[in-house]
Structure formats: C-alpha cells, structure tokens
C-alpha cells in the first residue's frame, strides 16, 4: 500500500475563521472566493544556504547526525541548510531556481556542526537500534547532535548519555515512557519513525530489526523538536505498549485531533497496514497521519512563511459546462498526494510528464485533478507554489484535498468531540488551497455512519466542500453496495439546507489485468466508462501501487473515449452532480 495523510491544527486555528466565510453556489454562477489574501509588503529575502552532499550509502549514524544538524541549522537560521542525498533533492533546487552559497561534504559539515552545536547525545547504534526514536527525541529537545562512537567526533559536552541513562530502560516501551516524562514538555508534536523493523514479518507482534533506520524526516524532527516514537504494539488493545502510547498522546501536550508525522507501518496484515491512519489506534480516537517520510522539510518550512490565507495560490478557472443529460462526465484524480514523499518525487515527475504532453500539442489535454497535501502550506510552501504554477501552464490541471481532508484519517471513527474540529480544519484547508472537493477514507463498517452523520457536516450553506470522493483503503472491499447499481452519486443535505455531492468509489491502480477491475487496460476502462448511462457524473481515483503510471493509464485512455464522454475536474463534477435534475 502507498503511505497515505496527517498535524497541527494549532497553526491553522488562525485560518478557521476563513472556513465560516467561504461560500459556493450552484450553477450557473461560479462559487464566490474565500476571503482574499491582502499583501502586506514584499516578502523577506530568504537566507543564503549551504548544500550538504551525503552519500545515500553512508553509514546510518552519519546520515542521522547530518540530518539532525541540518534541522538544528534551520531551527537557528531558517532555510540555511539543505541536504543532497538523492537525485530528487538536486532536482528541486533546479525546479525552484535556488542557488546555494556553498556546497560541502558530509564529514566537513559534521565538523562544523560540532563547533556550532557542541553538546552531544551519546549513544550506541548497534546495541540501541530499537531505541533510536527515543534517542532522537532527547537530542532534538536538547538541541544536541546524536553521536555514535563510529563518528569519531569530539563533542564539547555530553548533554545526555543514552547508554547509561537507558541501560535499565532498554525496551521501546520503557524508554518511551522515561523520555516522555523527562522531555515531553519540550516537544511540539508527534512523529512515528521506524528504526528498521522487517516490513512483512511472519509475526507482526514481534518483528526483527533487519534494516538501518532511514534518515527521512529526521531534519524536521530536529527543527521542530518533535517527540519520536515507534511502538510496534502501541495500537494493540491490552498490550502494555498501548498504555504508554495513550499516555503520550493524551497528556494534553498537543492540539487534537493530533496529526502524526512520519508513518506507522506496524501490523501489516494481508498487504495493508492496519494502523497507518492512526485514528483507530487508541480508544481516544483522536489521531490522524501526515505522511511525511522525506528530507528537507526543515529547509522548506523555515525558508519562507507559511501560506495561511486564500488566493496566495489559485486554481485554474473551472470549466464552463452546463449539465447535459446526453453526456457522461468523469473526473480523473491522481491519488496519494497526501504523501509528501510522493509530492517530492514521483508526483513531480508525473506533473512534468503531463506538462510536456499538454504543451506538445500532439495529444489531448483534458482536465485532470491532483490530490495535494494541505500541509504543504507550511511544510513546503515553495513546493506548493510550484505545483500551482505548473498547473497554470496547462490551464487544465486542478487540485483536491486528499484522504480524508485535513488528515489521513478515518473521520467517522474520530471521537465525537474532535469531529467538528476536523471538519473546520478541512474547510480551512479548502479555502487556503482554493478547492471544493475532498477525497475521503473511512474504516470497514463505518461508511453508513459517514454517509448519514459525518459527511453531511460538510453540506452547509456557505461551506467550501461541495464534493466528497470516497476510496477504499487499506483493503479494496466493496462499499456503497446498498446503492442501486446505476447510482453514481448522492446529494447530501445538511442541517441548514446546504448540499454536497457524495460519489461512488471507483479506483484504478494498474493496467494489464482485465480480470481485476482495479487493473484494467486503458481500452477496457474506456469501454466501461462509455457504457455508463448517459447523464452519469462520476470519478476515477488513480494510484500507483498496482503499477499504474500517468502514461499507461490516463494519458492513454484520454484518446479512447467517445465524444459524449467529457472529462472534468472534481470541482466541476461536484457542481454538475448537484445540478443534475434527479439524484
């Protein structure tokens, strides 16, 4: 499965007032804009920055130390250090037109780090492998470098000796409880980073440590002083580790619903990670995920100010289409945009491919919608602007919120006292991004509740969410089976008479296996769509976990559809569904 979305409603609280003022209307009038951004003068000039080259095959202790220092540098001086450890890192400097003031190698950078940040957290990588999340937490809280003996670094002082302090607290549960008691008050949020457990163990409760800890997100942990945890059984009812995790989450340190950075890959069962969304992990039901296993977020989040108002980034003008019952309308949606790691890698490649196709003039350039993480507004505003700027070059690319809006979560499973906060945060995200649609995920057995109780919260007069597009993950089990076979959407009516369109799920994950409805060839998918009753308004969700690419799916299919099938954006699909004469 792809790693999919979720933190910090706190920094968006200033934006929640926007959601109340946002409004849309039914056709033919376009939806009014949310409150506009008011320029307050020229943006400050970003700081000069240094690029640090790190061999991706370098030993893990060195990579962790470099990422930690990158984070500390950016904490001290925003946007001053950038790591170059793979081709994607270098590409973004080119895409954004960024020129460093200097380039250094990892070893030289670490020597300068010890001079700038002389305090160290000493640990032993080999014997404390499982405790790395706890060790990184202490180092981030203290603003100290994590130093393994193999690095041969002479620190000015030892702020914390993990070998001594954790000698009798030598399990993840014991170490997590101790570190939270001692340092939890100094942290600003929660992250889950895997120290290197096997990905598909025979016994999910007892996986072996078979890999090195990856360096992704460590720089952001240090720039933000996040509390890092990875308890394999932290979500298992009755397990002592769940008590520890519940203590950490419910201590009142951080805003709720709590967005969890990183990714929780524990308990992979039948190809799906049971707790990746976090929502059903604890009885408190107050978490969601911000899939963010990528580097340089400390650079991007501190280089420029967060985007907290609407019309800083703007969507393309929506298509001028009036509902015609003789046509079929389909919105194609590129999924997994909640995963910031995807947005920094494959989705950039796909967007470049889409741009080249549209500009070549040799193939159609019909509307295409991309899911995009609302957390880019503060984690990487420059990357968010890049996507919107490139969409303006085609004029036919649009955006929607990913599952499930503000966080990658099961919203119907959230505790009642946080559901309304989740809705408000999602509406604020929609206003800032200028979108009217959200992809939605819910748990097995909760879709009825979502349809009847949770999703109508978006159907309010003046609300920005006009379309809800469900997907089935982590398991592709049928849902909305209680709808008639020819029903593709339902118009939900809220308490004040507002309306929002809820669509039937349809997912396309790969090609070449026409016996699997999720893996159809472009021709078979085109035939399916052509066979829908005229007047249908629907959508298709594209994800790459079954081998699908933009080229072998959407770009190929766009040339195979009959003339009465019209491809549209999700925002237009929602508007057309609401406008349809019967539902």
* Domains observed in the chain: 50-303 (no CATH), 327-579 (3.20.20.490)
For position 19, what pLDDT does the model report? 35
Contact 370, 397 (CB under 8 A): yes
For residue 172, pLDDT over 70 is answered with yes
Whether the pLDDT of residue 393 is over 90: the answer is: yes
The reported pLDDT for the residue numbered 18 is 35
- pLDDT for position 35: 64
Please write down the HEC assignment for all residues of 159-193: EEEHHHHCCCCCCHHHHHHHHHHHHHHHCCCEEEC
pLDDT for 5 equals 34
Half-sphere exposure of 177 (CA within 13 A, CB side): 14
Work out the pLDDT band at 316, boundaries 50, 70, 90. very high
Which pTM does this prediction carry? 0.92
Percent of all residues in the chain with a pLDDT value above 90, rounded to a whole number: 86
CA 182 to chain centre: 30
> Which tokens go with 15?
């934006």
**pLDDT band at 446; cut points 50, 70, 90:** very high
CA-to-CA dists, residue 280 to 131, 185, 404, 474, 480, angstroms:
25, 25, 14, 13, 21
Residue 474 has what pLDDT? 67
**Is 122 strand, coil or helix?**
strand
Please answer whether residues 290 and 6 qualify as being in contact, where contact means their C-beta atoms are separated by less than 8 angstroms: yes
What does the block give as tokens for 388? 């919107």
Name 373's Cβ contacts closer than 8 Å, sequence gap at least 6: 5, 290, 291, 337, 338, 339, 340, 343, 379, 402
d(CA 295, CA 291): 12
Torsion of CA 35, 36, 38, 42, to 10 degrees: 140
Q: Supply the pLDDT for residue 268.
A: 86
pLDDT over threshold 70, residue 11: no
Residue with tokens 């237009």: 572
The tokens of 497 are what? 């008479």
Cis peptide before 257 (omega within 30 of 0): yes
What's phi and psi for 341, nearest 5 deg? -60, -35
What average pLDDT does the chain have?
A: 92
Quick one: average pLDDT of 6-26?
Answer: 33
> Are the beta carbons of 452 and 482 closer than 8 angstroms?
no
Predicted confidence (pLDDT) at residue 248 exceeds the cutoff of 80: yes
Q: How far is CA 572 from CA 26, 97, 543, 558, in A?
A: 11, 34, 21, 18
Pure H helices in 16-105: 16-21, 60-76, 87-95
- Average the pLDDT over 110-133 and give the result: 97
Is the pLDDT at 335 greater than 70, yes or no?
yes
Asked whether the beta carbons of 37 and 385 are under 8 A apart, the reply is: no
User: Does the pLDDT at position 80 exceed 90?
Assistant: yes
Record the tokens describing residue 397, joined without a space.
Answer: 């690319």
Contact criterion met (CB below 8 Å) for 333 and 574: no
The contacts of residue 557 (CB under 8 Å, 6+ apart) are 522, 525, 526
Rounded CA separation 255/331 (Å) = 35
Mean pLDDT to the nearest integer, 530-542: 97
Nearest to 347, CA basis, from 318, 315, 324, 370: 370
**DSSP reduced 3-state for 542:** strand
pLDDT surpassing 80 at residue 375: yes
Cβ partners under 8 Å of residue 264, min gap 6: 192, 235, 273, 275, 276, 278, 281, 289
Q: CA neighbours within 13 Å on the CB side: how many for 75?
A: 22
User: Rounded CA gap, 174 and 369, in Å?
Assistant: 46
Residue 20: pLDDT band (50, 70, 90) is: very low
- Is the link from the previous residue into 28 a cis peptide, with omega within 30 of 0? yes
Task: Using DSSP bridges, classify how beta strands 368-371 and 397-400 pair: parallel, antiparallel or unpaired.
Answer: parallel
Mention every residue, 6+ apart, whose C-beta is less than 8 A from residue 426. 401, 404, 405, 406, 438, 458, 465
Q: Is 107 helix (H, G, I), strand (E, B) or coil?
A: helix
**Token digits of residue 211:** 């890999």
Distance CA 132, CA 289 (A): 21
- The predicted pLDDT at position 191 comes to 98
Between residues 546 and 229, the one the model is more confident about: 229
């Amino acid at each position: 499965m792809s790693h999919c979305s979720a933190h910090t409603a706190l920094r968006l609280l200033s934006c929640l007032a926007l959601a109340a003022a946002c409004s849309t209307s039914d056709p033919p009038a376009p939806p009014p804009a949310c409150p506009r951004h008011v320029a307050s003068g020229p943006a400050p000039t970003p700081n000069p920055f240094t690029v640090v080259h790190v061999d991706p095959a370098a030993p893990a202790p060195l990579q962790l130390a470099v990422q930690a220092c990158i984070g500390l540098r950016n904490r001290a001086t925003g946007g001053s250090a950038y790591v170059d450890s793979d081709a994607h890192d270098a590409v973004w400097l080119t895409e954004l037109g960024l020129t460093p003031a200097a380039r250094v190698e990892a070893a030289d950078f670490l020597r300068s780090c010890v001079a700038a940040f002389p305090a160290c957290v000493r640990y032993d990588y080999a014997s404390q492998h499982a405790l790395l999340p706890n060790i990184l937490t202490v180092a981030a809280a203290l603003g100290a470098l994590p130093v393994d003996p193999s690095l041969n670094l002479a620190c000015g002082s030892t702020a914390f000796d993990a070998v001594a302090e954790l000698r009798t607290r030598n399990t993840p549960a014991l170490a997590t409880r101790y570190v939270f008691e001692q340092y939890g008050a100094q942290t600003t949020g929660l992250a889950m980073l895997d120290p290197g457990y096997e990905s598909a163990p025979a016994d999910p409760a007892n996986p072996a440590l078979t890999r090195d800890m990856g360096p992704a997100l460590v720089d952001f942990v240090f720039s933000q002083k996040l509390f890092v945890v990875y308890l394999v059984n932290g979500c298992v009812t009755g397990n002592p580790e769940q008590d520890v995790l519940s203590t950490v989450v419910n201590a009142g340190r951080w805003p709720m619903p709590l967005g969890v950075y990183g990714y929780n890959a524990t308990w992979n069962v039948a190809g799906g990670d049971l707790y990746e969304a976090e929502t059903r992990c604890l009885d408190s039901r107050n978490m969601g995920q911000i899939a963010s296993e990528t580097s340089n977020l400390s650079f991007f989040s501190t280089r420029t100010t967060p985007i907290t108002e609407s019309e800083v980034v703007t969507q393309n003008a929506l298509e001028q289409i009036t509902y015609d019952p003789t046509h079929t309308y389909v919105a194609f949606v590129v999924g997994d945009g909640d995963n910031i790691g995807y947005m920094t890698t494959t989705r950039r490649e796909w967007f470049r491919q889409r741009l080249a196709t549209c500009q070549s003039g040799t193939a159609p350039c019909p509307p295409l919608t991309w899911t995009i993480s609302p957390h880019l507004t503060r984690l990487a505003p420059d990357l968010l602007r890049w996507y919107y700027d490139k969409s303006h070059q085609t004029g036919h690319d649009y955006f929607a919120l990913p599952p499930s809006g503000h966080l990658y979560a099961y919203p119907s499973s959230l505790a009642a006292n946080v559901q309304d906060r989740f809705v408000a945060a999602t509406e604020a995200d929609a206003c800032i991004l200028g979108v009217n649609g959200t992809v939605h995920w819910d748990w097995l057995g909760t879709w009825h509740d979502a349809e009847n109780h949770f999703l109508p919260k978006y159907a309010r007069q003046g609300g920005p969410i006009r379309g809800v597009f469900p997907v089935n993950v982590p398991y592709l089990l049928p849902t909305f089976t209680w709808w008639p076979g020819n029903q593709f959407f339902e118009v939900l009516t809220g308490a004040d008479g507002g309306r929002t369109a809820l669509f039937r799920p349809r997912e396309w994950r790969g090609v070449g296996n026409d016996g699997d409805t999720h893996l159809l060839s472009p021709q078979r998918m085109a035939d399916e769509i052509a066979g829908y009753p005229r007047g249908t308004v629907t959508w298709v969700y594209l994800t790459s976990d079954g081998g699908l690419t933009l080229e072998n799916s959407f770009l190929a299919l766009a040339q195979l559809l009959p003339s009465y099938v019209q491809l549209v954006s999700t925002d237009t699909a929602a508007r057309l569904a609401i406008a349809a004469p019967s539902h």
